[in-house]
Amino acid sequence: MLINLSDILSQDGKEMQVQATLEMDKFHTFDGDYEFAGKQPVELHLMNQGKKQLLVEAKTKLSIWIPCARCLEPVKTSFHIQCEYEIDMSQSEEDRIENLDENNFIKENSLDVEQLIYNEILVRWPMRVLCKDDCQGICSHCGKNLNKGTCNCETRELDPRMAAISDIFSKFKEV
């Protein structure tokens, strides 16, 4: 959704309250698309603070399905977005882009709500999502989700490592 800013910029002190529905139904990133699990409307508060200084406040709650880093099961991940920007509308668009490229949600005389919220999700994107702290992951041989039970794959190759670890522990105990 694009919000036309001409009206609010025409008069100092003018305020605007807008509720916008997010149109994006997937979150596109360089490594793939993620489905939204839930979207609340975006509550926007805009204010012309005089001298072409525009205050933008936005608030919403969203959730996106992100695969667990170990077992790849989708995990409903919540994003609580609350942000505030002061934008100098007396600058040309090129100046604004140079000064703060996070303000790329201002396009000429419009505010691009999709772009604003996209940026906010991106900066909050988690490094790693786990379905639970002790997720067992998937078997590297058969791909079975080990949270749902064990598989019949040969696990002997793990034994030397396990033995090494128990060696270390027993050494610690001796000290």
Kindly list the residues in this chain that would bind Zn ion in the complex (CB under 5 A): 68, 70-71, 131, 135, 139, 141-142, 144, 151, 153
17 or 155, CB closer to Zn ion?
155
Of 71 and 81, CB closest to Zn ion: 71
Q: What are phi and psi of 32, to 5 degrees?
A: 140, 180
Rg (CA), the chain: 25
Min dist CB 67 to Zn ion, Å, is 8
> Least CB distance from residue 39 to Zn ion, whole Å?
24
SS3 88: strand
Whether 136 contacts 147, CB under 8 Å: yes
In angstroms, give the least distance from the CB of 135 to Zn ion.
Answer: 3
- What is the Cα–Cα distance from 63 to 96, expressed in whole angstroms? 31
Name the burial class of residue 27, with classes exposed (0-12), middle (13-18) and buried (19+) by CB atoms within 10 angstroms of its CB: buried
Measured from the CB of residue 153, what is the shortest distance to Zn ion in angstroms?
3
Taking the C-alpha atoms of residue 46 and residue 66, their distance in angstroms, rounded to an integer, is 32
Phi first, then psi, for residue 2 (nearest 5°) are -105, 130
Q: Which is nearer to Zn ion, 47 or 131 (CB)?
A: 131
